[in-house]
Amino acid sequence: MKVLLFGGAGYIGTHVALAFLDRGDTVGVFDDFSSGLRENVQKECILYEHSILDEKAVNEALNDGWDVVVHLAAFKAAGESMVDPSKYALNNITGSLNLIRGCQAHSVNAFILSSSAAVYGEPQYLPIDEKHPTSPLNYYGYTKRAIEENLEWFHQLHGSNYVSLRYFNAAGYDAEGKMRGLEKNPANLIPVVMEVATGKRSAIQVFGNDYDTSDGTGVRDYVHVTDLADAHVKAADYLLKEKQSLIVNLGSESGLSVREIIDETRKVTQKEIKEEIVGRRAGDPAKLVASSKMAKDILGWEAKHSSLNQIIKTTWDAYQKS
């Protein structure tokens, strides 16, 4: 199979590349390196160094003949998307439309989108399944939903198929140590805790310890990036075999609290890790956990590497190496 990864030099994309390369597929990486890392792109990949906003370059790459396109190229900082929506409109929506239109022009009928749990917004019930209403709380989440809607329209009007993978919180690193550089500008809890462990930050701020959860701190669904990568391989096989479209959640289904993550990091790193309990952040729900039943039933996928220890240990190994 020939797979072209737009945004394939990023944190998740480089792990997706490993999963396809591992089974002998041909992998192309199209990336402008705005946040991607050259040192994490495997040498077997065919590299296209351009922006998805450059329609000519997108079409030239698609000309090389691909069975499946995976679209990971996006800006992903939810907070920034609320102060600079134009930046997100251009890169995430216009950029995606270039790819969707390019695929149509080149008869690539298998498109995998990196979507996000951010499409759901405030949880109305838990665990969140795919039937949960979509009502994004930030512009970033809206861009993902807008891309899904365009994929659905192109599916209806041109018969092109897509799988939208709604990731919960991606975490961890390749356990074999194949990644040489760390995710650029991470804003998630685990990298921040790691930075306290390495001494780059003095303390971790805990936003609220009075939530209605087992230990009072917020609970989120973390899924190991190697599990996410495996889901892309399964989605690609599904698209080529079943020729149907699908939207599925990818989460581990087991929520981890901020407290559990800090405590496990202390255990794995043997570092002190100072914390400061500060007030809750506006709009932060107590708990967000996925149902991944659809991914299991339809794609045969399950999270195999997403235990608390595997997530923290592989992340710490990566932080120590770089």
Ligand X SMILES: NC(=O)c1ccc[n+]([C@@H]2O[C@H](COP(=O)([O-])OP(=O)(O)OC[C@H]3O[C@@H](n4cnc5c(N)ncnc54)[C@H](O)[C@@H]3O)[C@@H](O)[C@H]2O)c1
Please identify which residue in 3, 4, 5, 12 interacts with ligand X, judged by CB under 6 A: 12
Nearest CB to ligand X, comparing residues 114 and 138: 114
Please give the Cα distance from 187 to 78 (Å, whole number).
Answer: 10
Size of the site for ligand X (CB under 6 A): 27
Please give the Cα distance from 202 to 229 (Å, whole number).
Answer: 33
Nearest CB to ligand X, comparing residues 95 and 127: 95
Stretch that binds ligand X, among 34-42, 195-203, 264-272, 280-288 (CB under 6 A): 34-42
Nearest CB to ligand X, comparing residues 135 and 156: 135
Please identify which residue in 73, 236, 286, 299 interacts with ligand X, judged by CB under 6 A: 73
Site membership for ligand X, residue 116 (CB under 6 A) = yes
Please give the Cα distance from 25 to 237 (Å, whole number).
Answer: 12
Please identify which residue in 3, 4, 5, 10 interacts with ligand X, judged by CB under 6 A: 10
What is the strand order of the sheet 255-257 is part of? 169-171, 219-224, 255-257
Please give the Cα distance from 269 to 27 (Å, whole number).
Answer: 35
Nearest CB to ligand X, comparing residues 52 and 196: 52
- Is the distance from CB of 136 to CB of 121 less than 8 angstroms? yes
Catalytic residue among 139, 140, 162, 167: 140
Q: How far is CA 260 from the centre of its chain?
A: 22
Nearest CB to ligand X, comparing residues 114 and 209: 114
Please identify which residue in 1, 21, 47, 53 interacts with ligand X, judged by CB under 6 A: 53
- Say if residue 127 is preceded by a cis peptide, omega within 30 of 0: yes
Please identify which residue in 22, 34, 60, 272 interacts with ligand X, judged by CB under 6 A: 34
- Amino acid 165 reads L
**From the CB of 9, what's the least distance to ligand X, in Å?**
4
Q: Tokens 């008869």 label which residue?
A: 107
Site membership for ligand X, residue 120 (CB under 6 A) = no
140 assigned to active site: yes
Of 124-183, binders to ligand X (CB under 6 A) are 167, 169-170, 183
Please identify which residue in 28, 36, 141, 218 interacts with ligand X, judged by CB under 6 A: 36
Instruction: Return contacts of 156-161, CB within 8 angstroms, 24+ apart.
Output: 158/104, 159/109, 160/103, 160/104, 160/108, 160/109, 160/111, 161/109, 161/110, 161/111, 161/239, 161/243, 161/244, 161/245
Please identify which residue in 3, 4, 5, 11 interacts with ligand X, judged by CB under 6 A: 11
Q: In sequence order, what are the residues at sequence separation of 6 or more whose Cβ sits closer than 8 angstroms to the Cβ of residue 28?
A: 2, 3, 4, 5, 8, 45, 46, 47, 48, 61, 64, 66
Nearest CB to ligand X, comparing residues 29 and 204: 29
Site membership for ligand X, residue 7 (CB under 6 A) = yes
Please identify which residue in 4, 57, 62, 95 interacts with ligand X, judged by CB under 6 A: 95
Site membership for ligand X, residue 227 (CB under 6 A) = no
The number of beta carbons lying within 10 Å of the beta carbon of residue 155 is 16
Per-residue exposure over 6-17, b if at least 16 CB sit within 10 Å of its own CB, e if not: bbbbbbbbbbbb
What is the contact surface with ligand X in residues (CB under 6 A)? 7, 9-13, 31-36, 51-53, 72-74, 76, 91, 95, 114, 116, 167, 169-170, 183
Catalytic positions, written as ranges: 140
